[in-house]
Amino acid sequence: MRKVLITLVSFSVFSGVAGVQAKELQSNDRFMCSWGAGTAARAQELKLSGVSLYAARQKIRAYSFNKPWMRMMAMGITEQTYDSPSRYKPAAVRESFYEECLRYKLARK
């Protein structure tokens, strides 16, 4: 009887821990990560094609964004991309950014 009780308690504790780890992201979080990944990929594309950081900033300023936070976020992502010495392809940058962003969002919950 004692072993059965210990087994049941351990299973219930384990299932509770698994439930905490399986937190869902909101659609807004996924959108933000997807948008940021696209911005990082575009910045990498501009960087690899030889466009200066100044010209990339001008392109961002000229673009019309849907939300007020997007312009400054795009500037920050672009500057970080240009500061990085990486020569990865834009698709790899997009994938890496998206995965790391999702991991960060999950860790914050």
Q: Is residue 12 part of a domain?
A: no
Q: Is residue 16 part of a domain?
A: no
Distance between alpha carbon 71 and the CA centroid of its chain, in Å?
17
Map tokens 């990944």 to a residue: 37
Helices 53-62 & 68-83 angle (0-180, nearest 10)? 170
**pTM for the model:** 0.75
What does the pLDDT average to over 65-74? 95
Q: Is residue 93 part of a domain?
A: yes
Question: How many domains does the chain divide into?
Answer: 1
Domain with 75, as residue range(s), is 27-108
Percentage above 70 pLDDT, the chain: 79
At 14-62, the pLDDT tens digits run 444 444 455 688 889 999 999 999 999 999 999 999 999 999 999 999 9
